[in-house]
Amino acid sequence: MENVVDVLIVGAGISGLTTALGLHRLGIQSLVLESSEELRITGFALSLWTNGWKALDAVGIGDSLRQIHDELDGIITTSMISGDKTSELSFPAPEEGGVRCVRRKFLLEYLAKELPSGTIKFSSKVVSIEESGLLKLVHLADGTLIKTKVLIGCDGVNSVVAKWLGFKAPAFTGRCAVRGCLQLKSNHNFEPKMSQFVGEGVRAGIIPCDDKTLYWFFTWTPSAEEKEMEENPGKLKQLVLSKLGEMPDAARAVIEETEISCFQPAALRYRPPWEFMWGNIVKGNVCVAGDALHPMTPDLGQGGCAALEDGVVLARCIAEALLKKPSSQDEKAEREQHEQLETGLRKYAAERKWRSIELIGTAYMVGRMQQSSGVFAKFMRDKILSQFLVGLLLRNAKFDCGKLTPSL
């Protein structure tokens, strides 16, 4: 069976669905392939800063998500070694949604429900990609063949499309993370702030999503012995609890009360910035976005925001090409549109290349500094660099991906 579509998006994650919704708002139909049987909601929640809300507003779902997630007004950092607060910063007056911790499930569902029925095709695993004249021919595991004018890889850190473009597999940082979400029947009584805890080579955080839901994370560099515990959720939970040091009892209780099934380790991977210097974000009518483009450590809280930015910029650039009327109606029109699409994708790559390099590099540096060990390193982190590190979070949140409407 062979289908032909204008825009084929691989992956129904944040970047894939944002791109599809952006195109839909501009009157362009796309098809989204998702290998899973349903939307993937791993990760539980994510921080959305001002730049992320600007992107959500551009595709028209920002207000709906604001209504079900509480606004945060600051960030507090506490030492797990001494139990002392090392820094506290209030967020500036809210703009475009402020800062909120958004449940991934709700974000994906709100994006998906705005799309026309049939836009997402589940249980659709891409196995290979071929050239077919001006089109790309995509082979699925079930034997389906799809030809497309534009192929967009939003298929995560193990992206088939990124591999086709020549990118290497993302590098392992040596660090791992465990994430969870605790839903209570009554108010949790936590302040509307990000609570961050740093210790001897470990880092943790607790962030309210709403008045009854708390998202938490824990990152560390596992030893060879600890890696063996990662296959056992019960042992992994005990390992995490044993490393929390002088974390306040109320915060520790959040992790203690989380179901054991949530304790699944995730290796933290990133794309080295220098790969962008000789790698191909775009090749002809093929490109990548989201984690397929810029996998990064979670230390800036910008992975999801960057994926939303990608979707808006990509939809705008593709629309500029597809909505332009060809100068002729003969066989040259197809070639002309193909060239316009290539130009649009190169424009997208130019906009996203340096932004990706900055976010990946900054996140990696911040993670190393915050999860440092040793007396001198801890002194520098807690007494000198803590305000600087928090300032980096705010600086990267000022980015504006622009409106959705293309300039035709």
pLDDT at 224: 84
pLDDT at 234: 93
CA end-to-end span of the chain, whole Å?
36
Average pLDDT over residues 317-329: 83
Q: What distance in Å separates the CA atoms of residue 79 and residue 366, rounded to the nearest whole number? A: 16
Per-residue pLDDT tens digits for 57-109: 999 999 999 999 999 998 898 989 889 888 888 887 666 568 999 999 999 99
Whether 216 contacts 222, CB under 8 Å: no
What contacts 237, CB < 8 A, 6 or more positions away? 255, 258, 260, 263
pLDDT at 230: 77
Using the predicted structure, report yes or no on whether residue 372 has a pLDDT greater than 70: no
Using the predicted structure, report yes or no on whether residue 389 has a pLDDT greater than 90: no
Band the pLDDT of 168: cuts 50, 70, 90.
very high
This prediction has a pTM of: 0.93
pLDDT at 320: 92
Burial of 192 (0-12, 13-18, 19+ CB in 10 A): middle
Q: What distance in Å separates the CA atoms of residue 353 and residue 366, rounded to the nearest whole number? A: 20
Band the pLDDT of 5: cuts 50, 70, 90.
very high
Average pLDDT over residues 27-36: 97
Average pLDDT over residues 13-37: 97
Using the predicted structure, report yes or no on whether residue 159 has a pLDDT greater than 70: yes
Average pLDDT over residues 361-384: 69
Average pLDDT over residues 209-231: 90
Q: Where are the alpha helices (DSSP H) in 72-159?
A: 104-113
Sheet holding 85-90, edge to edge: 85-90, 74-79, 194-198, 202-210, 213-220, 171-183, 266-270
Using the predicted structure, report yes or no on whether residue 1 has a pLDDT greater than 80: no
Q: Where are the alpha helices (DSSP H) in 114-248?
A: 160-165, 224-229, 233-242
Whether 111 contacts 21, CB under 8 Å: yes
Q: Where are the alpha helices (DSSP H) in 247-374?
A: 249-256, 275-278, 303-322, 332-370
pLDDT at 388: 64
Band the pLDDT of 297: cuts 50, 70, 90.
very high
Band the pLDDT of 386: cuts 50, 70, 90.
low
Using the predicted structure, report yes or no on whether residue 384 has a pLDDT greater than 60: no
Q: Which helix (H) or strand (E) holds 282?
A: strand 282-283
pLDDT at 186: 95
Average pLDDT over residues 141-163: 96
pLDDT at 70: 95
Average pLDDT over residues 257-275: 93
Q: What distance in Å separates the CA atoms of residue 16 and residue 288, rounded to the nearest whole number? A: 10
Tokens representing 100? 């909120």
Whether 236 contacts 178, CB under 8 Å: yes
Query: Which residues on adjacent β-strands are paired with residue 3?
Result: 146
Using the predicted structure, report yes or no on whether residue 280 has a pLDDT greater than 90: no
pLDDT at 387: 60
Using the predicted structure, report yes or no on whether residue 7 has a pLDDT greater than 80: yes
Using the predicted structure, report yes or no on whether residue 382 has a pLDDT greater than 80: no
Whether 206 contacts 226, CB under 8 Å: no
Band the pLDDT of 279: cuts 50, 70, 90.
confident
Using the predicted structure, report yes or no on whether residue 166 has a pLDDT greater than 60: yes
